[in-house]
Amino acid sequence: KPMDLKRMRVIGIVLILLGIMILSHFPMHKYVSNFGKNYLKMTFGLYLDYFKNYEEGMIVGGGIIGMLFFYLFYSLFSSVGTIVIIVFLSVVGISFSFNKTIGETFGFVKKIFVRKDGKDNNE
């Protein structure tokens, strides 16, 4: 039986995996940023070199798909904006994975951090 890609849980898992791929590209970007300003070209060249000359210790980050999404978000929103997008994708992915709305997910988090008498748990 083929997998139903339109289900909420599958979409949530895909969003979580996309966030992980983008997040795992940060070390590769840190490595590439030491050598020049054309990050996308250098990163793609490193991936081609990785496919041609595989070695055990090579840095590859989040793969080619992760690279494309990372540099799309990085060029539009910088590194802080990319982290915000990763957090957003992860929260939406987690709530979709549990078949909850985003409001229900934040309500659950609010229950954890706020006592019944309305005061904060940190007080």
Per-residue pLDDT of the chain (123 residues; tens, 9 = 90+): 777 778 889 999 999 999 999 999 998 888 888 888 888 888 888 888 888 887 777 767 778 888 999 999 999 999 999 999 999 999 999 999 998 888 888 887 777 777 666 565 555
pLDDT of 108 reads 79
Range 17-22, long-range pairs (CB < 8 A, 24+ positions): 17/93, 18/69, 18/89, 18/93, 19/86, 19/87, 19/89, 19/90, 19/93, 20/62, 21/62, 21/63, 21/65, 21/66, 21/69, 22/62, 22/66, 22/69, 22/70, 22/73, 22/82, 22/85, 22/86, 22/89
pLDDT of 105 reads 84
pLDDT of 111 reads 79
